[in-house]
Amino acid sequence: MSEVVQSTGSAATRSARRTNWARGFYRFRQNPLSVVGLVIVVLLLLLALFGEYIAPYPEHLNGELNVANRFQPPSAEFWFGTNEVGQDIFSLVLAGARISLLSGIAVIVVATLIGTFIGVIAGYFGSWLDEVLMRFTDLVLTLPALILAMAIAAGLGPSIPNMILALALAWWPGFARMARGEVLSTKAELYVLAAKAQGGGNTRILTRHILPNITSPIIVKMSLDVGFAILAVASLGFIGIGVRPPTPEWGVMLSVSRSNLPHFWWTAIFPGMAIFLSVLSFNFMGDGLRDVFDPRARR
Amino acid sequence: MTILQVENLTKHYVTSGGYFDGRGETIVALDDVSFDVRRGESIGIVGESGSGKSTLSRIILGLERPDSGRIVFDGTDLSTLSKRELRAICARIQVVFQDPYASLNPRMSVRDLIAEPMEIHRDILGMSNAQITDRVAELLTLVRMEEDHMHRYPHEFSGGQRQRIGIARALACKPQLIVLDEPTSALDVSVQAQVLSLLIGLQDELNLTYLFISHDLAVVRYLCQSAILIRKGKLVENAPIESLFDAPESDYGRMLIGAMPDIDPDRSPFRLKSEA
């Protein structure tokens, strides 16, 4: 606390916004695990964008085979070994970051937008609108998410955008329920009453008072869910909807390599580690973001 | 000169009934309450929990509509106004809430908190962002805080400082009437005194009218020129402060004043029977 106060000693000369950023980063740094998480997430995102350009065997990404080198264990030549058709697993894992991460993130972003919108409207305006929206949400929630996503994806046809949409349409109810609950407790806060007493309209109250105060649980849930969404993307790839081999994707690689276990462990371990690492790092980063976004949550 | 007239104000609440009988219970929050407030005066509204004093303040602030009766503010009947006109009146009637911890949005900097009423009423005030920031600095000085504080967040301040931020926010649009909803009851006694003397100083400086809602008679006596007593939604007494304390007319008034602890230990209601 005292450091925060001192660091803003010259606050009057700086812009308030820059001070907020500095303070936010200060809070984030307080937990080393958050920084580790952030670093790994940034690295993974860089891989997602540039992975295929730095892969040592780019030709393997386009489906080229090298059967003579199949099931090579990890070595200086093939860092993560090779798979059943002799492709370099390191190259595939690098390239796989794009589809796995970006679709996982896209699913959660779309689900958050839909869910938060519905939840906030239901919670803030209440009465019959709340009743209608939440009963519909409950209805979607009763359907098993993966089965629903399969049905939607099967109906839309197998492609990556359709898979993202299908998962998002199955994923939003959790966000809607959480957002509604948060809005219900936030709109009863005295500062919301104070804003109303000053003559503030619904738009101002929603954007200035309610949304900023419900972002932290949403962001925490988002960062947790990105990991599970990556798993869900992999699951859909496994059953042949969405991503298909030979497109490199961690989940697909993992499911294909099931039959290689336990002898050729490296074909499964490295894609699995990639999934593990991304889930973990998104979690750590989420914790750090919560510290930044919620000034009240002090350890 | 009268700034606020409350005439025959009545408000009922119906509790929601059970699923089967469907009938709710009717609660009378305010029953035919009338009183006047003169400009520049402080009037205390005293009553126990559930007496209707909070309902009264919510109706005056325009947060709720009365079932019957009217509120006349500075010559205009609030019930006849359109939503837009009512919003404009909001700038002239402001409020300071009891709990300085809950009444400030924790995500907003002090500058944004104090600027908010000016932003809401920008159409009336016509202020640019830079003018608003200057005014925030001026207001912070007015409530004896530092200009630097505007870049900080509420959780960095003590209860008394937060309450002063709340007061600065209430003053932002140069209101005429301020509803003080037990502004000191959540504070330490020493901080209470600071906030009260600040309020008195501001009243003289800015010619404000205070509607001081409290259950603390000692504070009402210190701050107000007259007081009304409310019990179970009914106005039981409306008198200048000295006559209320010297010779209360109602039984409720006598009871309240009789229950006040006295500085003189011999007259304290807490004295031991044997000492009497």
**Whole-complex ipTM:** 0.81
Tell me which residue range forms the domain holding B63. Answer: 1-92+208-276
B177-190 burial, b at 16+ Cβ within 10 Å, e below that, comes to bbbbbbbbebbeee
Shortest Cα distance, chain B CAs vs residue A286, angstroms:
19
CATH number at residue B261: 3.40.50.300
Instruction: Tell me if A213 and B111 make a contact (CB, 8 A cut-off).
Output: no
Instruction: Tell me if A204 and B120 make a contact (CB, 8 A cut-off).
Output: yes
Please identify every stretch of chain A with a pLDDT value under 50, giving residue numbers as ranges: 1-14, 298-299
For residue B43, the surrounding DSSP H or E stretch is strand B42-46
Strand order of the β-sheet with B42-46 is B93-96, B177-181, B209-214, B42-46, B226-231, B234-240
A75 touches chain B (CB under 8 A): no
Shortest Cα distance, chain B CAs vs residue A198, angstroms:
6
Residue B88 lies in a domain: yes
Instruction: Considering only residues B16 and B42, tell me which one the structure prediction assigns the higher pLDDT.
Output: B42
How many other C-beta atoms can be found within 10 angstroms of the C-beta atom of residue A149?
27
Given this model, what pLDDT does residue A138 score? 92
Residue B265 lies in a domain: yes
Given this model, what pLDDT does residue B159 score? 84
Mean pLDDT of all residues belonging to chain B: 82
* pLDDT above 60 (res B53): yes
CA-to-CA dists, residue B132 to B120, B137, B147, angstroms: 12, 9, 13
Distance, in Å, from the CA atom of A174 to the CA atom of A177, rounded to the nearest integer, reads 5
Work out how many domains chain B is built from and give that number.
1
Q: How confident is the model at residue B18 (pLDDT cuts 50, 70, 90)?
A: low
Residue B6 lies in a domain: yes
Using DSSP bridges, classify how beta strands B68-73 and B76-77 pair: parallel, antiparallel or unpaired. Answer: antiparallel
Given this model, what pLDDT does residue A132 score? 93
Q: How confident is the model at residue B23 (pLDDT cuts 50, 70, 90)?
A: low
Domains delineated in chain A: 88-299 (1.10.3720.10)
* pLDDT above 60 (res B222): yes
Angle between helical axes of A16-29 and A32-54 (0-180°, round to 10): 100
Rounded percentage of chain A residues whose pLDDT exceeds 70: 89
Instruction: Tell me if B103 and A19 make a contact (CB, 8 A cut-off).
Output: no
Distance, in Å, from the CA atom of A230 to the CA atom of A228, rounded to the nearest integer, reads 5
Helix (H, G, I), strand (E, B) or coil at B272: coil
DSSP B156: G
Residues of B in contact with A14 (CB under 8 A): 151
pLDDT by residue (tens digit) across B186-218?
778 888 888 888 888 888 888 889 988 887 788
Residue B123 lies in a domain: no
Residue B190 lies in a domain: no
Q: Out of B99, B147, B155, whose CB is closest to A12?
A: B147
pLDDT by residue (tens digit) across B116-153?
888 888 888 888 888 888 888 989 988 888 888 888 88
Residue B203 lies in a domain: no
Residue type at position A36: V
Residue B136 lies in a domain: no
Residue from A127, A191, A205 whose CB has the most chain B CBs within 10 Å, to mutate:
A191
Mean pLDDT of B214-228: 84
Instruction: Considering only residues A85 and B230, tell me which one the structure prediction assigns the higher pLDDT.
Output: B230
Mean pLDDT of B41-51: 84
Rounded percentage of chain B residues whose pLDDT exceeds 90: 0
* pLDDT above 80 (res B72): yes
